[in-house]
Amino acid sequence: MIILMHEPTDELFLGVMHPDAALFSDYFDIELAAKEHAAYRAALERFGAKVLTVRQILLEGTLTKEGRPIEGKELNELRAFASRFLTYNTSNIPDEAKAQERYKKMIVDRAHPKDLVKMIMLQPEIVLSYTESNTGFAATYIQRPIMNIFFMRDQMISTAKGIVIGRMNSEQRQLECEIAEFCLHKIGFPPIYHIEGEGAYLEGGDFLPFGDYAFIGRGLRTTQAAIDQLMEHDLLGANKVVVVKDIWGEQEQMHLDTYFNIIDRDLCTLSEARYLAAKGDPQYLKIDIWERESPEQPYHKAFSDISFVDFIEDELKMKVIPIQRSDELTYANNFLNVAPRKIMAVAGQSVELQEAFKANYVDVTWVPLTNLTKGYGAAHCMTQILDDGDVLF
């Protein structure tokens, strides 16, 4: 199992200075968050997963063991990519524009590979002006850090057909797909498609493959236009597409994997409020089911607006473990399934939930993620399984 992740570091600093603007729920300690992430990666590796990080991939082939740059294809490609994230703003000195482009190229060509990675993660803008002394130039400095990319689930979906690059619904996250795609090409997992077009948004936290079914959440972050593209271009490798329609639209449950998750063919979890919600309640979940007889035929809508709970219990014969509110707030639903009935889940859940897992023979590795979950996500959100389309059932 190959898992793509991103180790969070200094690009989070400005985000924790104003969590709301960064799409975080609260301030958190960046150093402790990095330690939590490292411990989670280590737990996955003990299970047998091969974990690749974005930073590791970006630097691959650019440094010797002693940390010196290696001239060649990998470094040249990193330079070209990083250059897109560094801006010399010459609006105050327009006559200097061409000269500053040449100066920028010289700096990028001399930059250490680790500094090139910082360019990508921090998106620095240098706003130039003239002075009458010293070097003749002064600057103010702006950063637009890529702060949410440690949630590597969202930039893409990994299906039985291959990897589809999504389209992020938040302005703060739109460049993450470009970084993910650069990494995927470098490690030999080129995407098979990109979601595109007005009103078409797809984020990976809304996708859960399940054998011949594909669950896709439609709500705050993913739109029907993107789902239509997945079906039109046969990108899912599933003959039945279950569109879970969330009208609640709250940030704390912005993706399907924050309120619903799959443990085994016959076992899942669901937010208790969603599980008990009656028709008319904003948390009540309805689904549309799209089907096709074979991969050669187009999908058609077989069912509209039927109960999600009834479907998973009566049609799929799945037992539901309801997640109570206190556990929901610590992302109990957002676990990573590494094998049937074997999950990596956020530590600190209630005794009741721990006992429910035991009673259903679920093998849980509890992972402390106290700081990282304040970014509105957890164990599932931080991982992207690349090699098997994330299909475990």
Tokens representing 232 are 């039109």
pLDDT at 390: 54
Through-space distance between the first and last CA atoms of the chain, rounded to whole angstroms = 15
**CA–CA–CA angle 208, 210, 212 (5° rounding):** 130
Percent of the chain exceeding pLDDT 90 equals 96
Asked whether 164 and 206 are in contact (CB, 8 A), the reply is no
Q: Is the pLDDT of residue 260 over 60?
A: yes
Confidence of residue 388 (pLDDT cuts 50, 70, 90): low
For the residues 26-49, what does the mean pLDDT come to?
97
- pLDDT for 98-134, tens place per residue? 999 999 999 999 999 999 999 999 999 999 999 998 9
CA 315, 319, 322: angle at the middle one, nearest 5? 120
Q: In terms of CATH, what superfamily is 2-58+147-385?
A: L-arginine/glycine Amidinotransferase; Chain A (3.75.10.10)
**pLDDT tens column, 338-378:** 999 999 999 999 999 999 999 999 999 999 999 999 999 99
Region 65-82: what's the mean pLDDT?
97
Q: Which residues contact 122 (CB under 8 A, 6 or more apart)?
A: 10, 11, 85, 143, 144, 145, 146
pLDDT at 246 (0 to 100): 97
Q: What is the pLDDT of residue 112?
A: 98
| Confidence band for 387, pLDDT divided at 50, 70 and 90 | confident
pTM of the predicted protein model: 0.94
* pLDDT above 70: percentage of residues in the chain: 98
> Is residue 391's pLDDT more than 60?
no
Q: Tell me the per-residue pLDDT of 282-296, one tens digit each, with 9 for 90 and over.
A: 999 999 999 999 988
Q: Note whether 241 and 206 are within 8 A (CB).
A: no
Say how far apart CA 212 and CA 167 lie, in whole Å: 24
Q: What is the average pLDDT value for the chain, to the nearest integer? A: 96
pLDDT (0 to 100) of residue 230: 98
Where in the chain are the domains? 2-58+147-385, 69-143
pLDDT in tens, 220-253: 999 999 999 999 999 999 999 999 999 999 999 9
Q: Cα–Cα distance between 245 and 303 in angstroms, integer?
A: 13
